[in-house]
Amino acid sequence: EIVLTQSPATLSLSPGERATLSCRASQNVSSYLAWYQQKPGLAPRLLIYDASNGATDIPARFSGSGSGTDFTLTISSLEPEDFAVYYCQQRSSWPPLTFGGGTKVEIK
Amino acid sequence: QVQLQQWGAGLLKPSETLSLTCDVYGGSFSGYYWSWIRQPPGKGLEWIGEINHSGSTTYNPSLKSRVTISVDTSKNQFSLKVTSVTAADTAVYYCARGDIAAPGAPLDCWGQGTLVTVSS
Protein backbone atom coordinates (compact mmCIF):
# COMPACT_ATOMS: atom_id res chain seq x y z
CA GLU A 1 0.00 0.00 0.00
CA ILE A 2 1.30 3.46 -0.93
CA VAL A 3 1.37 5.80 2.06
CA LEU A 4 0.96 9.53 1.47
CA THR A 5 2.41 11.83 4.13
CA GLN A 6 1.22 15.43 4.16
CA SER A 7 3.01 18.30 5.85
CA PRO A 8 2.57 20.40 7.77
CA ALA A 9 -0.47 19.09 9.63
CA THR A 10 -1.61 22.67 10.22
CA LEU A 11 -0.66 25.85 8.40
CA SER A 12 -1.54 29.17 10.04
CA LEU A 13 -1.61 32.03 7.56
CA SER A 14 -3.34 35.32 6.90
CA PRO A 15 -5.52 36.19 3.90
CA GLY A 16 -3.37 37.30 0.98
CA GLU A 17 -0.42 35.12 1.99
CA ARG A 18 0.97 32.26 -0.06
CA ALA A 19 0.29 28.69 1.09
CA THR A 20 2.60 25.80 0.24
CA LEU A 21 1.39 22.29 1.11
CA SER A 22 3.48 19.14 0.72
CA CYS A 23 2.57 15.53 -0.04
CA ARG A 24 5.21 12.79 -0.06
CA ALA A 25 4.53 9.27 -1.36
CA SER A 26 6.18 6.13 0.01
CA GLN A 27 6.69 4.89 -3.56
CA ASN A 28 6.80 6.42 -7.02
CA VAL A 29 3.27 7.41 -8.10
CA SER A 30 4.38 9.03 -11.37
CA SER A 31 2.01 11.99 -11.80
CA TYR A 32 -1.15 10.17 -10.64
CA LEU A 33 -1.67 12.50 -7.71
CA ALA A 34 -4.77 14.58 -6.99
CA TRP A 35 -5.57 17.29 -4.46
CA TYR A 36 -8.93 17.92 -2.77
CA GLN A 37 -10.30 20.69 -0.58
CA GLN A 38 -12.78 19.91 2.20
CA LYS A 39 -14.74 22.43 4.23
CA PRO A 40 -16.56 21.49 7.47
CA GLY A 41 -19.71 19.47 6.87
CA LEU A 42 -19.14 19.22 3.13
CA ALA A 43 -17.81 16.61 0.74
CA PRO A 44 -14.29 16.99 -0.65
CA ARG A 45 -13.91 18.94 -3.88
CA LEU A 46 -11.39 18.07 -6.57
CA LEU A 47 -8.83 20.85 -7.12
CA ILE A 48 -5.93 19.34 -9.03
CA TYR A 49 -5.45 16.04 -10.89
CA ASP A 50 -2.49 14.43 -12.63
CA ALA A 51 -0.29 16.46 -10.24
CA SER A 52 -0.67 19.78 -12.04
CA ASN A 53 -3.94 19.96 -13.98
CA GLY A 54 -6.63 22.21 -12.58
CA ALA A 55 -10.10 20.73 -12.28
CA THR A 56 -13.13 22.44 -13.79
CA ASP A 57 -13.94 25.88 -12.35
CA ILE A 58 -11.00 25.87 -9.95
CA PRO A 59 -9.49 29.38 -9.51
CA ALA A 60 -6.08 30.00 -11.02
CA ARG A 61 -4.57 30.76 -7.60
CA PHE A 62 -4.50 26.99 -6.98
CA SER A 63 -1.60 25.16 -8.64
CA GLY A 64 0.05 21.79 -8.28
CA SER A 65 3.52 20.52 -9.07
CA GLY A 66 5.76 17.51 -8.63
CA SER A 67 6.17 13.95 -9.82
CA GLY A 68 7.45 10.66 -8.49
CA THR A 69 7.30 10.95 -4.71
CA ASP A 70 7.21 14.67 -3.90
CA PHE A 71 4.30 16.95 -4.66
CA THR A 72 3.24 20.48 -3.77
CA LEU A 73 -0.06 22.34 -3.75
CA THR A 74 0.35 26.11 -3.84
CA ILE A 75 -2.31 28.71 -3.17
CA SER A 76 -0.78 31.92 -4.46
CA SER A 77 -2.81 34.36 -2.39
CA LEU A 78 -5.22 33.05 0.22
CA GLU A 79 -8.83 34.13 -0.02
CA PRO A 80 -11.14 33.84 3.04
CA GLU A 81 -12.93 30.86 1.45
CA ASP A 82 -9.64 28.93 1.08
CA PHE A 83 -9.32 28.14 4.78
CA ALA A 84 -10.11 24.44 4.84
CA VAL A 85 -8.50 21.00 4.97
CA TYR A 86 -6.59 19.75 1.94
CA TYR A 87 -5.98 16.11 1.03
CA CYS A 88 -3.73 14.48 -1.54
CA GLN A 89 -4.69 11.14 -3.13
CA GLN A 90 -2.94 8.63 -5.39
CA ARG A 91 -4.16 6.10 -7.90
CA SER A 92 -0.87 4.91 -9.26
CA SER A 93 -0.95 1.59 -7.46
CA TRP A 94 -4.29 0.28 -6.24
CA PRO A 95 -6.03 -1.27 -4.50
CA PRO A 96 -6.12 0.53 -2.35
CA LEU A 97 -6.48 4.04 -3.65
CA THR A 98 -5.04 6.08 -0.74
CA PHE A 99 -5.32 9.56 0.73
CA GLY A 100 -2.89 11.60 2.78
CA GLY A 101 -3.75 12.55 6.33
CA GLY A 102 -4.61 16.13 5.39
CA THR A 103 -3.29 19.65 5.97
CA LYS A 104 -5.51 22.17 7.72
CA VAL A 105 -5.06 25.74 6.52
CA GLU A 106 -6.29 28.02 9.29
CA ILE A 107 -6.53 31.75 9.75
CA LYS A 108 -3.63 33.19 11.71
CA GLN B 1 -24.20 18.73 -14.67
CA VAL B 2 -23.95 15.37 -12.95
CA GLN B 3 -25.22 15.05 -9.40
CA LEU B 4 -24.85 12.20 -6.94
CA GLN B 5 -27.60 11.77 -4.36
CA GLN B 6 -27.03 9.17 -1.70
CA TRP B 7 -29.40 7.64 0.81
CA GLY B 8 -29.67 4.87 3.39
CA ALA B 9 -30.02 4.07 7.08
CA GLY B 10 -28.01 6.26 9.42
CA LEU B 11 -28.23 4.34 12.72
CA LEU B 12 -27.24 0.71 13.08
CA LYS B 13 -26.62 -1.73 15.90
CA PRO B 14 -23.41 -3.78 16.10
CA SER B 15 -23.45 -6.86 13.82
CA GLU B 16 -26.05 -5.33 11.47
CA THR B 17 -25.50 -4.65 7.76
CA LEU B 18 -24.86 -1.13 6.48
CA SER B 19 -26.68 -0.42 3.23
CA LEU B 20 -26.33 2.78 1.18
CA THR B 21 -27.35 3.70 -2.37
CA CYS B 22 -26.14 6.48 -4.65
CA ASP B 23 -28.32 7.79 -7.47
CA VAL B 24 -26.56 9.37 -10.45
CA TYR B 25 -28.41 12.22 -12.15
CA GLY B 26 -27.60 14.13 -15.31
CA GLY B 27 -24.69 12.18 -16.71
CA SER B 28 -23.52 8.99 -18.35
CA PHE B 29 -23.03 5.93 -16.20
CA SER B 30 -20.46 4.34 -18.46
CA GLY B 31 -16.87 5.49 -18.70
CA TYR B 32 -16.47 6.07 -14.97
CA TYR B 33 -15.49 4.34 -11.76
CA TRP B 34 -18.13 4.62 -9.02
CA SER B 35 -16.53 4.69 -5.60
CA TRP B 36 -17.40 4.67 -1.93
CA ILE B 37 -15.20 6.53 0.56
CA ARG B 38 -15.69 7.00 4.29
CA GLN B 39 -14.49 9.48 6.90
CA PRO B 40 -14.68 8.75 10.66
CA PRO B 41 -15.61 11.80 12.74
CA GLY B 42 -12.68 14.22 12.88
CA LYS B 43 -10.43 11.96 10.82
CA GLY B 44 -9.20 11.50 7.26
CA LEU B 45 -10.58 9.78 4.17
CA GLU B 46 -10.57 6.03 3.57
CA TRP B 47 -11.37 4.49 0.19
CA ILE B 48 -13.73 1.52 0.48
CA GLY B 49 -13.94 0.32 -3.11
CA GLU B 50 -15.30 0.94 -6.58
CA ILE B 51 -17.34 -0.52 -9.42
CA ASN B 52 -17.58 0.29 -13.11
CA HIS B 53 -20.66 0.25 -15.33
CA SER B 54 -20.11 -3.36 -16.31
CA GLY B 55 -20.04 -4.48 -12.68
CA SER B 56 -16.31 -5.05 -12.23
CA THR B 57 -15.35 -4.32 -8.62
CA THR B 58 -12.17 -3.46 -6.72
CA TYR B 59 -12.09 -3.31 -2.93
CA ASN B 60 -9.80 -2.03 -0.22
CA PRO B 61 -8.09 -5.20 1.09
CA SER B 62 -8.66 -4.00 4.66
CA LEU B 63 -12.45 -4.19 4.19
CA LYS B 64 -12.82 -6.67 1.37
CA SER B 65 -14.23 -9.52 3.45
CA ARG B 66 -17.21 -7.41 4.60
CA VAL B 67 -17.92 -5.16 1.60
CA THR B 68 -20.07 -5.57 -1.50
CA ILE B 69 -20.54 -2.87 -4.12
CA SER B 70 -23.15 -3.41 -6.81
CA VAL B 71 -24.57 -1.43 -9.71
CA ASP B 72 -27.99 -1.14 -11.33
CA THR B 73 -27.46 0.61 -14.66
CA SER B 74 -31.20 0.60 -15.44
CA LYS B 75 -31.73 2.89 -12.45
CA ASN B 76 -28.40 4.77 -12.75
CA GLN B 77 -27.46 3.84 -9.22
CA PHE B 78 -24.83 1.92 -7.30
CA SER B 79 -24.91 0.55 -3.78
CA LEU B 80 -22.72 -0.35 -0.82
CA LYS B 81 -23.19 -3.08 1.75
CA VAL B 82 -20.94 -3.60 4.76
CA THR B 83 -21.70 -6.59 6.94
CA SER B 84 -21.12 -7.15 10.65
CA VAL B 85 -20.63 -3.48 11.49
CA THR B 86 -18.98 -2.31 14.70
CA ALA B 87 -18.42 1.09 16.28
CA ALA B 88 -15.27 1.37 14.16
CA ASP B 89 -17.50 1.64 11.08
CA THR B 90 -19.06 4.85 12.37
CA ALA B 91 -18.28 7.46 9.73
CA VAL B 92 -19.61 9.78 7.06
CA TYR B 93 -19.89 7.70 3.91
CA TYR B 94 -19.51 9.34 0.50
CA CYS B 95 -20.18 8.10 -2.99
CA ALA B 96 -18.03 9.58 -5.74
CA ARG B 97 -17.28 9.37 -9.46
CA GLY B 98 -13.85 8.64 -10.87
CA ASP B 99 -13.17 9.84 -14.41
CA ILE B 100 -11.53 6.95 -16.26
CA ALA B 101 -10.58 9.27 -19.13
CA ALA B 102 -8.47 11.53 -16.90
CA PRO B 103 -4.96 10.50 -15.77
CA GLY B 104 -5.25 8.91 -12.35
CA ALA B 105 -9.06 8.77 -12.60
CA PRO B 106 -9.63 11.63 -10.12
CA LEU B 107 -12.79 11.73 -8.02
CA ASP B 108 -14.47 14.67 -9.70
CA CYS B 109 -17.99 14.49 -8.32
CA TRP B 110 -19.14 13.54 -4.82
CA GLY B 111 -22.38 12.81 -3.05
CA GLN B 112 -23.46 14.87 -0.08
CA GLY B 113 -22.36 12.29 2.48
CA THR B 114 -24.33 10.13 4.92
CA LEU B 115 -23.44 9.86 8.59
CA VAL B 116 -23.70 6.25 9.69
CA THR B 117 -23.55 5.66 13.43
CA VAL B 118 -23.11 2.20 14.92
CA SER B 119 -24.28 2.04 18.51
CA SER B 120 -26.03 -0.43 20.74
CA distance B15 to chain A (A): 25
- In this predicted structure, the answer to whether residue A60 has a pLDDT above a threshold of 90 is yes
Average pLDDT over residues A21-48: 97
In Å, what is the CA distance from A50 to each residue of A26, A31, A61, B75? 17, 5, 17, 31
**Residue A91 with chain B: CB contacts under 8 Å:** 98, 104-106
Residue type, A44: P
pLDDT cut 90: percent of chain A above it: 98
- Interface check for A56 against chain B (CB to CB < 8 A): the answer is yes
Residue type, B106: P
Distance in Å from the first CA to the final CA of chain A: 35
Question: Given pLDDT bands bounded at 50, 70 and 90, which one contains residue A79?
Answer: very high
Average pLDDT over residues A68-91: 98
Residues of chain B with pLDDT under 70: none
**Residue B41 with chain A: CB contacts under 8 Å:** none
In Å, what is the CA distance from B6 to each residue of A13, B54, B82, B112, B114? 35, 20, 16, 7, 7
